Structure 1
Amino acid sequence: MFMASSICRTLVSNIVLHPITRLNPSSFGRIKCQPVRSMSSELSQRIFQLRFNPLTGNSEWVVIEESEEENSPKALLSSTSYLDMLNDSPRNRAFCKAIEKTVIKPCHVLDIGSGTGLLSMMAARAMDSSDAKHYTGSKGILSACESYLPMVKLMRKVLRINNMEKKIRIFHKRSDELKVGHDLASRANILLVESTFLWKLHDLYNNEAKALDNVHLVPAELERILRVKPQQYAMHCDAIAEEIRLLSDPFKVFEFDFSKRPESHGQTELHIKATSDGRVHAIVSWWVLQLDYEGTIFYSTAPRWINLPFNCEDLQTQSHNWCDHWKQCVWFIPGIGILVSKDEQVDFQAVHNDISISYNLKHGDSKLEQGYPDFHTRGCQLILSPERIAIYGDREWRYDMLRAVMNALQKKVSPLCVVADDSVFLTILLANLSPSSNIISVFPGLQEKGAQYLQAVADANGFSINRVNVLGKRPTCLTTDDTDQKKVDLLIGEPFYYGNEGKLPWENLRFWKERTMLDKVLSKDVLIMPCKGILKGCAMSLPDLWRSRRALEIIEGFDHSVVNTTLGACGDLPVSQGPSLPYFIWQCGEIKELSEAFTIMEFDFSKPISLSFGKTKVGFTEAGICHGFVLWIDWILDVDHSIVLSTGPKHRYWKQGVKLLSKPVAVGNHGSSGIGDCSFTEIEASFNPSDGELIIRHDFL
């Protein structure tokens, strides 16, 4: 694995103050509701918000008014990185020192992407300091620019509670909409490796070569027809420290000087010396931020196993303070990677535009072109997430699917099969195993792209595309006219819904909802796969994750307690109202299981979707501090319960749902717990079929 760091040189005589996460293009991935258009006037402001129903796949427009009170953490802000960022003490200290060092006299400070207004308040306090007051006859100006209305409303509360509302003027606009002379009286003076695991995340062609199911998702000569998008992928690389082998020393890729107008395009070419023999599977990169003009205050997002080559009086890093809003970036090398020898020179090329950075390696006479499909795959290429690519290349997963589908087909003659989700794998597997079957693939997300892909790979997989009908619309639209008046004999799914990856596990119960919508076209003896979903859980110690989500109090001297409810912080909400959030648990810093996996409730897909309840008593098997419960779905593929696909924390390709406690609780082994330690907990859950919401309650015993 090669390592690279991008130096972000922030010269504070002309810098833009903004949350660090603005520099990370992967930091916006978890927000569920996207503002599309805003309308404003002098009296009121509002935005249209797109709200997604995970069970139906439908979206609806809602209007958010500036005058409305919004305290529900579930809808808007609890799944963003704001709370995690505000809990990042090294970041806050670094910015505070840099601002105090820069704002030494009255000036015009513009804070772009101001969030809660923390950096604006730091600048206001610095401007009110004794040194700044020596400059008589001049008055400082503080302008905060924030385009997201729910955040503007929250910032007003924070400024009010800190008596700053009269010192900072808020603009509910994008920064490129601000005009000097209209909004602003004047221009601003200060503008605030080698790794088998990584290989599995992108190389499906070689990883499926030894599968036993005779399905070729990536046939020979069509290696790029199903692949990951060539882009930077965010990952906590500390979590795979034991699995990677470094093949180079860290090297600087780009240096961005914010004292100058930024270039919209740039590129660099470097000669990188390999430090070991091995195969380059990926390039890992991170940011080093210089926050002051003299170069004494830095903030680095490097992984812990990197020795940073900087001599400065204050280097703040997140290496000993896990936080989720800063991850490293992983760029995958196509195929099986590049074989290098120690001391060999590899040509490295990096290109950036306004919003992204891409890499290329040249080795010998060959250059790896990443951005363009082969001639034969144009128009039919599918781009999937790294985790989905890894799942499709996993031999154990494929073998379980093969067994389940073979068992389901045994008692069926010329069956009508419906693939209810976006599974190209199950579509090809059905066509391969049952030459007499007729297949309807719903493909609600892939739609026409899925149909074009199937047509391109049909010959290599030995089936006629005439036997497969891609519906390309929601299951509610499926009628007996689409099935030639036949009833469905086999309804299957993984479940997998394209574009909905990385969500809470129970959002895939959309399969149950859609099975219900198809009830009229199902035969009496229809086989449904999976036949059940089981909500599982585990009590865990999650100190790093809990710390990043804890309730805020005073941050660098400013009261932020007013934001806790809206951001869904631990401690300020009744447990049942606290958000459940999706995480790759294996990337959440320090973790420890405190109980065996337990079953909370079952969802029976042989029956229509319904209100569901579950309750269980759990004994702790390890002593420790419990920070919350990790939740996932186990999919039961067959009626004998012999084939189970788990999406729990031991399986790294799926996110789990996390329900954090208001306060950590000391627990002990139920067989030998200490005095005062809790030995058991009672978990109760309810599932609402109308909106897909899962309510979790607990009681320590």
Structure 2
Amino acid sequence: MEDVEESDVDGPVGANASERYAWHFDMLHDDARLKAFCGAFDRLPKTVLQHLAMDVGCGTGILGLSLLRQRPELSKVVAFESDPVLAEVTKANAVKNGLAPKLQVHALRSTAMSFEPGDRAKLLVAEILDAGLLGEDCLGTLRHASDSLLCKDYWAIPASADVFACAVESSMLTTFQTAEAAWWTQKAPGYRADQGDANPHDVALEKLLAAGKARLLTDEFFALSFDFESLPDGHRARKLEVAITRSGRLDAIVFWWYCYMLRGDKVPTMTNAPSSFSKAEAREIDHWRQAVCILPYPRPAVQAGQVVRLVVFHTDEDIWFRVQDELPVGPAELPRASSNLAQLSSSRLWMLSDEEKYRQLQQAMHRAVKSLNKGSPLHTNMQVVDLSDGPFMSFLAFKSLCRYGWNPKSRRMRKMLRMARTPLISLETNEEDLQVAKELFAMHPSCSSLTPGFTRPGAFRHVPKVKHLLGSPCLTPESVSMICGEPFARECEGLPCDSQMWHHWAQVDALRFALKPTAVLLPRSFRLKAVLLSCHDLWRRRQEIQSAWGVDVSAVNRLHPERRNGTPGLPGSPGRPRFPCGLWQVEHAILSDPVTLCQVDLAEDFPDSVRRFPGVMLGSGRPGVHGIATWTEVWFSKVTGWIPTVRIGEAARFQPSPMLQGVLLAKKLAQDTGVWLESFFSAADGSLHVQARWSSGAPF
């Protein structure tokens, strides 16, 4: 976000280095936000401007520079920005605006500084807010500033904020944090009962409602108020009585905030509320999302007309809700997971809740294991390697191995089993997934002892051995009967969904020496699909910017994702990488039928440098094209067919999905209705690059 003080930018694009500063362009294009701040600057009393001002988490410097430009009587603004790259951008912007002598920039967190009482600031400008208001350590940062950097009677912009909320029913939202109904926890009570960490999650409520994935159960209701000039205690709890307007199951509380920019304001002028609820001016560019708190299981069924008693809590960093009658005794702490469930991201938990997909994968695994057993009642030399992070494909393989040929009646065959090599190897690339794998297998009744001959009522008498490995396995040539995967690699989270497939292909290729001639690959192939997209808001907020509200901020353009990506040095094909985006949370429309951009058989050799794919034409038949969206479909077997990572709804929109699409936006808009695409995979950076041009021949 524009004024986030943290140097590490989280969020959906955190895994993609070139996207690290994309949020700053979102904020700089947000006229409603800048209008709210500039309106407050204009109304500041002159007495406040006779003292020092401070900009905490200054980002590109837009707020401090706007303040100095609008109120030239102000002598100096001290700005803090912990990211040294952004601090240099702020300094460059100050020079461009002729304000360098009046803007003092410190490339560190404000919490690392303290001022003498006579040198303290009278005005604090700090937009260090996230969707849940407090997630950027807003209160902790302001409390330190109040104690160490500001005068006693300081002014803050924004001056205060109110938190409002509504209750919703949404099975989809519950999967962001818990796994109580997931297929893989049916016999793992420790995970099934775990309610996960109660940290808020981001969601675009109106898009969720439009997709039919949530129902409102209440009107908007008031939850909390924060005065940034008289800070509350670090821990508070407040009782609420909420009227239910629609019957359903109370799954979650979605909440948002309204900011009053200047002391004494009666009307909020900055908000992240859904537009249908908003009391403030409508946002021209809708990049803000809301926060959601998942309520713990069991979630109550409520009836229209009923009054539900809630308690809302907050610390310096989090806000959460619970259904309960009384306030807690003593300060409340954010509820935490009781198992390693918290090691899995919300998108990963959501992905693992897709029971239909994993049922298809189980069918494909059954088919694969049966094919390996043809011609022999039992393969004592069978070895299966799971390349996905997390033990979930290993679970499917374990069940198939138990079901087909791992419970022989012959004593001789049982003896051979005890002497056989470990048939199932679950590879993990990080400690987090290794912990999840070991804990989850230990919870499962059939897996709690991973040695042949283990017996338990209701379990398999002879279970295959499973080895969980961190890093690369020691395999002998032609020893592996099957390589499988979902595919999923933690390092590819936050990237376009096809990144998982390119990564998996590279892993398969690295183990090719160990594959038997008859080895099975699961999945076997994948393809990328592409459509033309109309997405004006997304296109606009991703553009480079010269000025905002009269302030030259062009120094930030050096951080634009297109510039940071650079150009793959491929003569004649200056392809562009796509950026990751969950399009279901963005206003968009699909303008064309899908076409296959490329298709890969995983049995093929991984390219040494570049692999080109044939060009394709995308045609919409109507103007208004802003970009191209891509997603993957994966082939496991004939029983599964092509499994897509996202589906298109009847309204020509992408449906909610935990997987991110790859998006390529036009650099210059045109009236053309078609786009010619050529794509090539670069082994150097492990991603697909796209060269596009309008049907008229002009660059896209």
> The TM-score by the shorter chain falls in which range?
0.7 to 0.9
Range with greater deviation from structure 2 (289-298 or 642-651): 642-651
Q: Which amino acid aligns with 1:660?
A: L
- C-alpha deviation, 1:238, in angstroms: 1.2
In structure 1, how many angstroms separate the alpha carbons of the residues matched to 2:334 and 2:526? Answer: 39
| CA distances 1:154-197 after superposition (whole Å, capped 9, x unpaired) | 2222222222222211111110112325xx97111101112343
Q: Which residue of 2 aligns with 1:497?
A: 489
Q: Which residue of 2 aligns with 1:298?
A: 269
Q: Which residue of 2 aligns with 1:168?
A: 103
Q: Which amino acid aligns with 1:330?
A: V
In structure 2, how many angstroms separate the alpha carbons of the residues matched to 1:170 and 1:578? Answer: 35
In structure 1, how many angstroms separate the alpha carbons of the residues matched to 2:566 and 2:395? Answer: 47
What TM-score, normalized by structure 2, do the two folds share? 0.77
Q: Which residue of 1 aligns with 2:249?
A: 279
Change (3 A) 1:649 1:627: farther
- C-alpha deviation, 1:664, in angstroms: 2.3
Helix, strand or coil at the partner of 2:121: coil
Change (3 A) 1:148 1:497: same
Q: Which residue of 1 aligns with 2:436?
A: 449
In structure 2, how many angstroms separate the alpha carbons of the residues matched to 1:237 and 1:380? Answer: 28
Contact 1:441–1:469 (CA under 8 A) maintained in structure 2 = yes
Match of 2:233 among 263, 283, 286: 263
In structure 2, how many angstroms separate the alpha carbons of the residues matched to 1:681 and 1:465? Answer: 58
Contact 1:276–1:341 (CA under 8 A) maintained in structure 2 = yes
Helix, strand or coil at the partner of 1:697: strand
In structure 2, how many angstroms separate the alpha carbons of the residues matched to 1:684 and 1:103? Answer: 59
Change (3 A) 1:577 1:171: farther
Contact 2:217–2:245 (CA under 8 A) maintained in structure 1 = yes
Match of 1:88 among 30, 34, 37: 30
Q: Which amino acid aligns with 2:286?
A: C
Q: Which amino acid aligns with 1:101?
A: R
Q: Which residue of 1 aligns with 2:85?
A: 150
Match of 2:335 among 366, 371, 380: 371
| CA distances 1:3-45 after superposition (whole Å, capped 9, x unpaired) | xxxxxxxxxxxxxxx956679x997324547xxxxxxxxxxxx
Helix, strand or coil at the partner of 1:191: strand
- Paired residues in the alignment total 594
- C-alpha deviation, 1:93, in angstroms: 0.5
Q: Which residue of 1 aligns with 2:418?
A: none
Q: Which residue of 2 aligns with 1:389?
A: 349
Helix, strand or coil at the partner of 1:110: strand
Summarize the alignment of residues 505-544 of structure 1 with structure 2, pairs less than 5 Å apart.
Answer: 505-508=497-500, 509-544=502-537
Match of 1:195 among 170, 174, 178: 170
| CA distances 1:99-128 after superposition (whole Å, capped 9, x unpaired) | 221263332111011011111111112331
State whether structure 2 residue 286 is matched by structure 1 residue 323: yes
Helix, strand or coil at the partner of 1:665: coil
Q: Which residue of 1 aligns with 2:154?
A: none
Q: Which residue of 1 aligns with 2:398?
A: 431
In structure 2, how many angstroms separate the alpha carbons of the residues matched to 1:429 and 1:683? Answer: 38
In structure 1, how many angstroms separate the alpha carbons of the residues matched to 2:564 and 2:485? Answer: 39
Change (3 A) 1:682 1:22: same
In structure 1, how many angstroms separate the alpha carbons of the residues matched to 2:114 and 2:8? Answer: 29
Range with greater deviation from structure 2 (88-97 or 153-162): 153-162
Helix, strand or coil at the partner of 2:207: helix
- C-alpha deviation, 1:576, in angstroms: 4.9
- C-alpha deviation, 1:289, in angstroms: 0.8
Q: Structure 1: where are the runs of 5+ without partners?
A: 1-17, 34-73, 133-138, 209-215, 309-314, 667-677
In structure 2, how many angstroms separate the alpha carbons of the residues matched to 1:596 and 1:154? Answer: 42
| CA distances 1:585-641 after superposition (whole Å, capped 9, x unpaired) | 11111x111221112222321133213212322241341311111112221213x59
| CA distances 1:534-572 after superposition (whole Å, capped 9, x unpaired) | 122111111121122122132110122332242237999
In structure 1, how many angstroms separate the alpha carbons of the residues matched to 2:540 and 2:482? Answer: 47
In structure 1, how many angstroms separate the alpha carbons of the residues matched to 2:424 and 2:291? Answer: 40
Change (3 A) 1:493 1:572: closer
Change (3 A) 1:145 1:297: same
Q: Which residue of 1 aligns with 2:383?
A: 416
Contact 1:585–1:649 (CA under 8 A) maintained in structure 2 = no
Contact 1:419–1:492 (CA under 8 A) maintained in structure 2 = yes
Contact 1:492–1:528 (CA under 8 A) maintained in structure 2 = yes
| CA distances 1:639-694 after superposition (whole Å, capped 9, x unpaired) | x596212114535231111111112232xxxxxxxxxxx34321111211232133
Q: Which amino acid aligns with 1:658?
A: V
Match of 2:42 among 100, 108, 115: 100
Whose relative contact order is higher, 1 or 2, with alpha carbons under 8 Å and at least 6 apart? 1
Contact 1:218–1:226 (CA under 8 A) maintained in structure 2 = no
| CA distances 1:454-504 after superposition (whole Å, capped 9, x unpaired) | 111143894589634343312xx21137xxx87110100011124643322
Match of 1:402 among 347, 350, 362: 362
In structure 2, how many angstroms separate the alpha carbons of the residues matched to 1:364 and 1:167? Answer: 52
Change (3 A) 1:343 1:698: same
Contact 2:96–2:552 (CA under 8 A) maintained in structure 1 = yes
In structure 1, how many angstroms separate the alpha carbons of the residues matched to 2:305 and 2:217? Answer: 10
Contact 2:252–2:293 (CA under 8 A) maintained in structure 1 = yes
Q: Which amino acid aligns with 1:198?
A: L
Q: Which residue of 2 aligns with 1:359?
A: 321
In structure 2, how many angstroms separate the alpha carbons of the residues matched to 1:380 and 1:223? Answer: 8
Summarize the alignment of residues 509-588 of structure 1 with structure 2, pairs less than 5 Å apart.
Answer: 509-568=502-561, 576=574, 580-588=578-586
Helix, strand or coil at the partner of 2:119: coil
Match of 1:219 among 187, 198, 219: 187
Range with greater deviation from structure 2 (568-577 or 386-395): 568-577
Q: Which residue of 2 aligns with 1:687?
A: 681
Match of 2:645 among 640, 644, 647: 647
Contact 2:318–2:334 (CA under 8 A) maintained in structure 1 = no
Q: Which residue of 2 aligns with 1:599?
A: 596
Q: Which residue of 1 aligns with 2:139?
A: none
- C-alpha deviation, 1:518, in angstroms: 1.6
Q: Which amino acid aligns with 2:428?
A: F
Q: Which amino acid aligns with 1:408?
A: A
Q: Which amino acid aligns with 1:189?
A: K
What TM-score, normalized by structure 1, do the two folds share? 0.77
State whether structure 2 residue 308 is matched by structure 1 residue 346: yes
State whether structure 2 residue 170 is matched by structure 1 residue 235: no
- C-alpha deviation, 1:394, in angstroms: 2.5
State whether structure 2 residue 20 is matched by structure 1 residue 28: no
- C-alpha deviation, 1:151, in angstroms: 0.8
Q: Which amino acid aligns with 1:102?
A: L
Change (3 A) 1:449 1:641: closer
State whether structure 2 residue 657 is matched by structure 1 residue 635: no
Range with greater deviation from structure 2 (93-102 or 502-511): 502-511
| CA distances 1:111-151 after superposition (whole Å, capped 9, x unpaired) | 011011111111112331xxx4xxxxxx7221111110111
Summarize the alignment of residues 37-48 of structure 1 with structure 2, pairs less than 5 Å apart.
Answer: none
| CA distances 1:350-408 after superposition (whole Å, capped 9, x unpaired) | 22222112221127999x999355xxxx5554643344333333343123212221221
Q: Which residue of 2 aligns with 1:46?
A: none
Q: Structure 2: where are the runs of 5+ without partners?
A: 126-167, 374-378, 407-422, 448-457, 568-572, 649-654, 696-700
In structure 1, how many angstroms separate the alpha carbons of the residues matched to 2:597 and 2:632? Answer: 10
In structure 1, how many angstroms separate the alpha carbons of the residues matched to 2:605 and 2:90? Answer: 45
In structure 1, how many angstroms separate the alpha carbons of the residues matched to 2:352 and 2:462? Answer: 21
Contact 2:390–2:436 (CA under 8 A) maintained in structure 1 = no
In structure 1, how many angstroms separate the alpha carbons of the residues matched to 2:120 and 2:218? Answer: 44
Range with greater deviation from structure 2 (81-90 or 395-404): 395-404
Q: Which residue of 1 aligns with 2:296?
A: 334
Q: Which residue of 2 aligns with 1:249?
A: 219
